[in-house]
Structure 1
Amino acid sequence: MRYRRFGKTNLLLSVFSLGTMRYLASEEMAAQTVSRAIALGINHLETAKGYGKSEQYLGYALAQLAIPRSQLYITTKISPTPDSASMARQIDESLARLGIDYVDCLAVHGLNTEEHLSWIEAKNGCMQAVQQAVTDGRVRHVGFSTHGPLELILAAIATDLFQFVSLHYYYFFQRNAPAVALAAAKDMGVFIISPADKGGQLYTPPPKLQELCAPLSPLHFNYRFLLSDSRITTLSVGAANPTELDWPLSIADSDGTLNPTETEILQRLQAHQASVLGPDQCSQCYACLPCPEAIQIPEVLRLRNLAIAYDMTNFGQYRYRMFENAGHWFPGMKANRCNDCGDCLPKCPEQLNIPALLQDAHERLNGPVGRRLWS
């Protein structure tokens, strides 16, 4: 296991962190999973108030394993609130469920909207309680997690209120690259969330994608893409049981720059997508927004890109079904809301026939709705 400095927190974190959203089966399974993670070199455990019984189960695991507190770094996450009293109460409740006196890191969870940012910046908002918790030692370091748009992430980083950020960034989703760069420039820790699942459901890749990533697996390639970037501190691995840790952590020492084989895979993926999509490829410039019908055009077309170029249709359907059903965690209307108004057409530098591509994307990706764990 390699370890990296988590920005200005100065914590030395393992390059893989145990994310605990999925280990909800039992306290005993949680203890076994945590024990295995620690044995494999993980020293950073991440949970959240909103992850069902995750905090409670992690607290049980910590008590059972009796590992010295100084040997582990624990992060929990609490959603932003408009007032300090609510945040103060929730911090105390999280510490009680975890059975510990302090958390190493507290992330404001799901800083996704302009309203959330206004609560953060308000004089008597939730950050007053967070800062008091830092003063009295219940919280050591403060950051934020986000599923929000790039512009909001950049604005949150620019407040200089945070020491780390947890965000989505993968080979198949590079929109947040400027946020990674700004965070690094401000010496913030960068925690990549859900690289296996939101990164493309890469634990069950389609044959076409496996072929293009050979001799690596797609998940292995994505991990290497991320670990080759020294600005990134740690990646979440969301194991539901101990055995799900073994393969990801087998590459936890592979954190150097991309080797020739990996560079060839990257070039092969790029060339294949360009070849297959041709003039219909959306390059994700985001110039088409805002859409009058609130369709997240670039994200819809990204999912279409992946489905056509790499046969990642199952992943595309999984994400597309979240539109209109996940609130600020995955905002936007489905592509069939397009009314051919043409507002996007003159904005597109590639002159894409966006209404036609949206219709095609909807036909490929629509299906039963999905909801978040805490909906």
Structure 2
Amino acid sequence: MNRREFLKSAALVTAAGAMFGKGSVLKAAEAPAGPVLNFNPQMQYRPMGRTGVNVSALGFGLLRLPILADGKTVDAEQSVAMIRRAIEGGVNYIDTGRVYLGGQSEAVAGQALKGGWRDRVYITSKSPWWIMERPEDFEKFFDESRRAIGTDVIDFYHIHMIMHRGWKEKVIPFKLIDRIMKLKEQGKIRFAGFSFHDRLGLFKEVVESAPWDFCLIQHNYLDYEYEAGCLGPKYAAANGMGLAVMKPVRTGFLANLPPSMRAALRSTGVEKPDTEWALDYLWDIPEVSVAVSGMGSMADVEANLRYTSKAKPNMLTPDERKALGAAIRAFRQAPGHIDCTGCYQCIPCPHNVAIGYIFAYVYNNYLLHKNKKKALFDYTVSMSPIQRGAPASACVNCGACLAKCPQKLNIPELLKRVRNDLEA
């Protein structure tokens, strides 16, 4: 069955899905209804909320593709082979974005999907608010994405990386929700959604602001309270939305665990590769539709396909849950660990310091692995001042954050420690 035939046969399913109103709970634990695009018996598939379509439990995120020796050019030949191998294995959810890898991600996706491969998958992309200078840039970036991917219709389209600054300074003033819904009305996108990086309170506000079809959040077993946290999936599902989850291995951290965490996982007698532990945690959550994994090699693709063949909601045993708890404790017991959950209650900071991201994501990872090169990448390259905020050195010790912190952390003093370790 090609994509056009599939879409015709799925029309009734999609129409039925649209009937589910606010407050409906569509969980991946339910058996997929209707046809499955690019079906492979070794792959697991889950309903994507009210969209009416079924997505592979494993999605391919095209942000961490292999790079050539020059350190900046995507290895297109290897990447195309990886994407097509994933599709052969039953993956039907390919995730990219306008700014990923300087635009190379969408271009490589376009190469990989030529020759009939496009008919076998749902393609996603994202509109980056932080480089918009005027509202009309939204449509401009969308058309650039369509041309790069080589498709008339983008299946799942996001407003990219909604955070407190972008929400207040671009999404609302530029009426981006109206604009994305107009694309859907025009048939240029099939489903409208957003990706998210901020506190749970803002997540709820964004969810309530529009009849979204889906969302993309960061979640993994370490980030139980970070950003939208463990309640985010339930809140999205309660509003009928499909849920994609990014960073299942926390940008590689959970795929290469420090000895203390690996020993904790093995303490209950369960043996699995580090990455499998991370993915199984997400697949165990009934509300998760698809775990989007950034795969950087063919070995990653093959391994993840093996893991996905066993993926089921509520799949973890009591011993496995106990092991994950032990690993979390090992992480939090690292010398110097900052007990920050990334709840983001401390932001916005008057001086735009990215407090929660710096503590919960960058610095605590650094303490366990002592990989300064990786920490500096997360701290300087990934932490754009426009998006997440400014570095620790921007703190002026005003103390505005102190009363907001549920953990009662001495944030200015801890920022001094980060500055000394990562900015010296």
Please indicate the TM-score interval, normalised by the length of the shorter structure: 0.7 to 0.9
Equivalent residue, structure 1, for 2:155: 104
Deviation string, structure 1 residues 289-312 (Cα, Å, up to 9, x no partner)? 55444333343332444444x446
Matched ranges for 1:219-230 at <5 A: 219-230=275-286
C-alpha deviation, 1:5, in angstroms? 0.8
Shift of 1:43: 0.7
Distance of aligned partners of 1:272 and 1:30 in 2 relative to their CA distance in 1, 3 Å threshold: closer
Q: Are the structure 2 counterparts of residues 301 and 137 from structure 1 closer, same or farther at C-alpha, using a change threshold of 3 Å?
A: closer
Q: Secondary structure at the match of 2:249?
A: coil
Q: 1:291 to 1:15 in 2, by over 3 A?
A: same
Whether 1:320 aligns to 2:372 is: no
Q: 1:364–1:265: structure 2 CA closer, same or farther, 3 Å change rule?
A: farther
Kindly provide the amino acid, as one letter, of the partner of residue 144 in structure 2: E
The aligned counterpart of 1:49 is 98
In the TM superposition, what is the alpha-carbon distance from 1:151 to its structure 2 partner? 3.6
Relative distance call for 1:97 and 1:183 in structure 2 (3 A) is: same
Judged with a 3 Å threshold, the aligned counterparts in structure 2 of structure 1 residues 358 and 243 are, in CA distance, closer, same or farther, namely same
Q: Which amino acid aligns with 1:86?
A: D
Question: Which of these residues, 243, 264, 267, is aligned with residue 190 of structure 1?
Answer: 243
- Judged with a 3 Å threshold, the aligned counterparts in structure 2 of structure 1 residues 344 and 326 are, in CA distance, closer, same or farther, namely closer
Report how many aligned residue pairs link the two structures.
360
2:51 counterpart residue number: 9
Q: Where do residues 343-362 of structure 1 align in structure 2 (5 Å cutoff)?
A: 343-345=400-402, 347-348=404-405, 350-362=407-419
User: What displacement does 1:259 show?
Assistant: 1.1
Q: Which of 317, 320, 330 pairs up with 2:388?
A: 330
User: Is structure 2 residue 267 aligned with structure 1 residue 208?
Assistant: no
Cα distance in 2 between the residues matched to 1:353 and 1:311: 24
One-letter identity of the residue aligned with 2:378:
R
Query: Offset of 1:229 from its aligned partner?
Result: 0.7
The CA distance in 1 between the partners of 2:326 and 2:78, in whole Å, is 40
8 Å Cα contact 2:61-2:293 kept in structure 1: yes
Distance between the aligned counterparts of 1:337 and 1:227, measured in 2?
A: 39
Paired amino acid for 1:79: P
CA 1:127–1:263 in structure 2 vs 1: closer, same or farther (change >3 Å)? closer
Amino acid at match of 1:20: L
Deviation at 1:89, TM superposition (A): 3.5
Percent of aligned pairs with the same amino acid: 24
Please state how far the C-alpha of 1:351 moved relative to its aligned partner: 4.6
Q: Which runs of 5+ in 2 are unaligned?
A: 1-42, 66-72
**Contact kept in structure 2, 1:43 and 1:72, CA below 8 Å:** yes
Pairing 1:192-271 to 2, within 5 Å after superposition:
192-198=245-251, 201-214=253-266, 215-252=271-308, 253-257=310-314, 258-271=316-329
Q: Distance in 2 between matches of 1:86 and 1:344?
A: 35
Report the more deviating stretch, 220-229 or 72-81.
72-81
Amino acid at match of 1:61: A
Say whether the 8 Å CA contact 1:84–1:127 is kept in structure 2: no
Distance in structure 2 (CA, Å) of the matches to 1:128 and 1:287: 28
- Give the partner amino acid of 1:111: I
User: Mean Cα displacement is larger for which, 157-166 or 126-135?
Assistant: 126-135
Whether 2:363 is the aligned partner of 1:363: answer no
Residues 76 and 106 in structure 1, CA contact (< 8 A), matched pair in contact too: yes
After superposition, the C-alpha distances for 1:30-60 in whole angstroms (9 at most, x for unaligned) are: 3311210012110111122222222222222
The alpha carbon displacement at 1:113 in A equals: 4.0
Query: What does residue 154 of structure 1 align with?
Result: 204
The alignment's TM-score, normalised by the length of structure 2, stands at 0.74
Greater CA deviation, 35-44 or 53-62? 53-62
TM-score (ref. length: structure 1)? 0.82
Moved more, 275-284 or 241-250: 275-284
The CA RMSD over aligned residues, in Å, is: 3.1
What letter corresponds to residue 201 of structure 1 in structure 2? Answer: F
Aligned to 2:330: 272
Q: Give the partner amino acid of 2:128.
A: S
The amino acid of 1:359's aligned partner reads K
Q: Read off the aligned partner of 2:204 and give its amino acid letter.
A: L
